[in-house]
Structure 1
């Protein structure tokens, strides 16, 4: 059985660029470097949490089971907490979330949703116009 590699917050913090990116989610360390280009929300949202505890951001979005399976493939080790490290970040619980946490995370989540939905609508509109142009081209020929 292979030994699990342990990382400190300092170790993880050193991996915070597009070409070398680690994230901590539920005290597990993931190398997300190769996944940046594939992330459906874009690389910017991941780079915002690069080299940090990303648990809250990950859970706030509500990732699917498939996304969690992809995440497991990126696993590289466990976080070894040391004295003075911040405590574990968890997803806010149902009704016990303070208003300040809701507005802080809600704005970024809301903005993310607007960008994703807007991008989808723009893409769908573009595809529709392309199909209409192709149909008109065939009718004229």
Structure 2
């Protein structure tokens, strides 16, 4: 990696997307992997499918060895202009109504909805037995 490094836009890197000219962006660096396509253990299609975007996640997901990472130096051609890479949207959960931790009013209403009919039934059965025994 000589003195001055060249900066490429994502559009420039995206132009190199064939088996005869293949560039990748990994961790902000641009690599010309054209000569490595035939030797890549995962096949050339894996590399070709990662052109035109930031391939860092694809690269990391596979879990490359330290030897594979060391090999990258020989394919380095410059850095990516990070302003040209679209930012990833951070997941924002949907807005939900405020959770009311004080459930006392709801709990009392549900308890009464269960107990009042039960009490009425108990009174009715009690009156019936009381009047039959008289």
> TM-score when scaled to structure 1?
0.58
CA distance in 2, matches of 1:75, 1:51: 16
The secondary structure found in structure 1 opposite 2:38 is helix
CA distance in 1, matches of 2:47, 2:20: 12
Q: Which residue of 1 aligns with 2:14?
A: 13
For 1:100-139, list aligned pairs within 5 A: none
Contact 1:24-1:52 within 8 A present in 2 as well = yes
Contact 1:21-1:51 within 8 A present in 2 as well = no
The secondary structure found in structure 2 opposite 1:60 is helix
> TM-score when scaled to structure 2?
0.61
Q: Which residue of 2 aligns with 1:33?
A: 34
Bigger CA radius of gyration? 2
Q: How many residues align?
A: 88
Contact 1:12-1:51 within 8 A present in 2 as well = yes
Which string of whole-angstrom CA distances, capped at 9 and with x for unpartnered residues, describes residues 67-101 of structure 1? 00111211110001236x3127xxxxxxxxx8xxx
Q: Which residue of 2 aligns with 1:116?
A: none
Which string of whole-angstrom CA distances, capped at 9 and with x for unpartnered residues, describes residues 82-123 of structure 1? 36x3127xxxxxxxxx8xxxxxxxxxxxxxxxxxxxxxxxxx
CA distance in 1, matches of 2:40, 2:7: 25
What 5-or-longer segments of structure 1 have no aligned partner? 89-97, 99-141
RMSD: 1.7
Q: Which residue of 1 aligns with 2:55?
A: 54
> Which is richer in helix?
1
Measure how far apart 1:43 and its partner are: 0.7
Measure how far apart 1:52 and its partner are: 2.2
